[in-house]
Structures are given as C-alpha cells and as structure tokens.
A and B are shown apart, each in its own frame.
Chain A
C-alpha cells in the first residue's frame, strides 16, 4: 500500500539551530516527492519537489531535501531556522501525470527564541 510516514508529530528547535524533518514513504512505482508547508488556517505552500536527477533538491526559504532510495526517505533540512518557519510541514508522495497526492501526518514545528 502507498503511504507516507512522518515519525515526528511535533518538533521544537531554537532559532538559529539546524532542522531536519523526517519522511519515509512506501510506494510501488518511482515516486514523485514533495514537501509542503501550512501555516495555521492557511493553504499548502510548496517548498520543494523531487522528480528525478540530483537527489539533493533545493527549495524556497532556504530548505533542502535529500532523496535516499535505499532508505525510502526524503528528509527536509534547513541549516538555520527562523521564527517565521514555525508551521506544519507535510511530506507527500504522488505518481506522475496527474496522480493524487498521499500525505504524511504532518510535523508541527515550533521555534524557540
């Protein structure tokens, strides 16, 4: 079955510290992988995506993610967190050509001053 697991429900980091949000997926075909961010009561904003090629992808707001096929993982990283990064982060997997997205449960990020 296709699924996405985000093991951490809630993470708290200090402002300026590094961040890594974990994402593991189970998908039969070659996956398309995404990270979205959602502020409270808001829509989903695309941070970055992986389709093929270089396994380290850069996104907006200084985020990056690394695709590791052997570990079925697509972890999101940021070297220095800002207070404005506090939000809910969703990892998602989909097929190409208009396939639905399957989301993980989300990781809520809190940032301490």
Chain B
C-alpha cells in the first residue's frame, strides 16, 4: 500500500539558512500534519491542513510556515535556522472522508543545523 512520502530524508543546513521540507500524503487523504521530534523527545505537533486550509496550529515558530497545495502535498518552510531546529520532522496524513481518523506517518526528514 502507498505510504506517506517525505523528501528529502536528510538535510544539513548552516545557521540562518532556509530549508524546505516536502510531504506527499497517502492518495485520497485530505489532511496533512507536521510534527517535530527533537533528540530523545516525543513528537510535538506543529501544524495541520485540511483541504488546503490550515486546520490547527501548535508550537510552530514564527520562522516556520507551511501550506498544502492543490494536489494535497504539503511543504514546511523554515527560515533563519537555529541549532535548536535540528530534529526529525514527520509528516502524517489522514482522511476525514474515509472516517478513519487515523494518522499515518512518513519516514521523516532529519534536519541537522550546523
């Protein structure tokens, strides 16, 4: 079965640079979520989109922005990167129409800020 695709899988950036993470949800899934998992931490919710509209917002820094496009893929844009942004970034998708309300996670993008 198709899964959530995230790219790139690994990303190394310098402080103050920008990064763009991409997420391709499972086909027919209309909701995308972004989570951040720091080293040894549990995943923390950042932001979610339903049908291309922001549906919920968590502890996402103002330096970060995200959007969901017409093909339902999503991008997380991160600017003025800081050392503390080094983490594993997960995208998950779900479908309200299928009434599963179950989030399926991608493999994650490991961001390292030097």
Contact = CB atoms under 8 A, between A and B. Distances in A.
A96 B100 CA distance: 9
A36 interface: yes
B101 A32 contact: yes
B42 A98 contact: no
B42 A42 contact: no
Contacts of A99: 56, 101
Nearest to B56: A100
Contacts of B90: 43-44
B105 to A, nearest CB: 4
Interface in A98-113: 98-106
Interface residues of A, number: 24
Interface in B27-85: 31, 33, 35, 42-45, 48, 50, 55-56, 58
Interface of A: 32, 34, 36, 41-46, 49, 51, 90, 94, 96-106
Interface of B: 31, 33, 35, 42-45, 48, 50, 55-56, 58, 88, 90, 92, 94, 96, 101-108, 110
